[in-house]
Amino acid sequence: MKVLVTGSSGFVGKELVKELLKRKAEVVEFDRSEGKDILNKEQIAESCKGCDAVMHLAAILEEDAGMQELRKVNVEGTKNVLEAAAKQRVKKFILLSSTGVYGDFKGKASEELEKNPSSNYEKSKAEAEELVLSYQEIMPVTIARSALVLGPNNYWKQIIEALRKGFPIIGDGENKWQTVYYKDLVKALVFLLYNNESENESYNIAEEPEKAPSLNGLVELFRKELGIEKQAKHVPKAFGILLLHFKAFADGLKGKKTVISPRYVRRLLKNRDYSIEKIRKLGWKPEYSTEQAVKETVKELESRAKTSLDS
């Protein structure tokens, strides 16, 4: 099978390419780091030639990005990839979306829950989903809604740095925080690629909901792995926002882009409880518990830091 992967040099994209190559697939990589742009219709059309499937991961992920920029890449870019794939009559088109399209909700979110995005990023992903679904009469499409990805990337590196410095938990921390380890996400994407029953459907991809911790539980797992003995502190939401404004300002003076911005408060307080029953019925389930994912994430980040110091 010949597969086009957009966003192939990204955190998830790199691992996906490795997994596809293990499956003996022929992979066409498409990423801005290699001078490729999904806003360039000619480039995407050329790369799509002869492909049997397209796995569309390329997107702007930053919550702080403006709506115009988000729509340009996450919506118009997706449209360009869809048009190229449709001309090739590919056998499967997979969009990596986000459970963020559900917005704020109570209880557990299944795929049938009405989308209610609130942030600009969530709105752009919801719009991209609608575009993809509009092509299901032309080619088989699948939407994979990923929970917040846990793994050794810059996002979690900054979270760990904040925990080491004693940054407090904002709110009571009792909200559920169901994530997905990046290797599990990749395995799920490949599973959906080779499963014909997944056509024209949407699926939540996350860790086992029964085992997912609260925010307090997740922080405690990291603290334990990092060897932090001092008890975690909690601060009210309003004070937490003020703290984050100061942090963002201080990081800005250092020329450092922070993922822990005032908008981050909404992420912290959000209920993250998702049903994965639909993809379970197809035969997929996550391999990593949150505890295992945290251990692997800390281990990998510390290994990279040591390698960097040694070199």
Do residues 145 and 97 touch, judged by C-beta distance below 8 A? yes
Q: For tokens 């990749």, what's the residue?
A: 186
| Separation between Cα atoms, residue 131 and residue 7, nearest integer Å | 19
* Catalytic residue selected from 121, 182, 203, 288: 121
| Separation between Cα atoms, residue 174 and residue 214, nearest integer Å | 5
Compute, in degrees rounded to 10, the torsion defined by CA atoms 224, 63, 98, 19. -70
Angle (CA) 140-125-287 rounded to 5° is 70
Coil, strand or helix at 47: helix
Strands 201-205 and 169-170: unpaired
Task: Return the H-helix or E-strand segment holding 149.
Answer: strand 149-150
Query: DSSP assignment, residue 152?
Result: S
C-alpha separations of 58 from 45, 61, 69, 79, 83 in Å: 15, 9, 14, 12, 15
288 is an active site residue? no
Catalytic residue IDs: 121
